[in-house]
Structure 1
């Protein structure tokens, strides 16, 4: 089998011969930064995938939740992630007194609001009824926890960003 070789100058550069230690350090730091970025990016992709799979589990378990396809589940996973990042903290802060009085049980309602908001924003993703409002986020959370643990055990390099 004929292997292609890199030009000698590039091989020397990649091996570190003839490069100052400062340049070698800089190149090493750049490689670490790229590796970290790729790791975080893969973590986000894995988180979206886990959320999409969890949504499909919710679709199977609850009759009031309908997801048309895996692509819709992926889009819904992204939307749920964005809602949980930007909207949920504001809702949690605004409802903090109610949440304190109910000893945290009102957070189930907040999760239901976020889930229903995602269903309203994503075409092909519907959630109908009070049971879907209250139970779907709980099942979504349980399925996500299980799948995150499963993927973390199978791939030590990839860790979901939750």
Structure 2
């Protein structure tokens, strides 16, 4: 989450963990497209849903595993979410959030949306930042996402 916050919060995209819950044991190891689609039952409306799983098989080449994916449910493509393997590198969540906000892959070394990395810091370019902001505004204006309040809700007095 720290890397995602570092990249997205300067753009005004506030990220926070709203809730956590354990997925059903059948969702720990995702092997097929149907396994990924089944996660739609666990979604919370108006939030970016991030599912952390034990393993995530590449559905196009089952001999491989993935660190993360931005997934659109096949029956309801407007219901999309991020799936990240528990063993993923720190930038994977941020990369998949990039896809969530409409970014494609990049060939530029160390760009968040590139698979090529050196020891340098991961970054977004100006066009990517503009795209993220545009999509965030669209998601909020169409009520697909609720804005994060400026202050946390008051504590329950009970």
User: TM-score, structure 2 length as denominator?
Assistant: 0.21
Q: Greater relative contact order (Cα 8 A, min sep 6): structure 1 or 2?
A: 1
Higher helix share: 1
Q: TM-score, normalised on structure 1?
A: 0.21
Higher strand share: 2
Q: Which has the larger radius of gyration?
A: 1
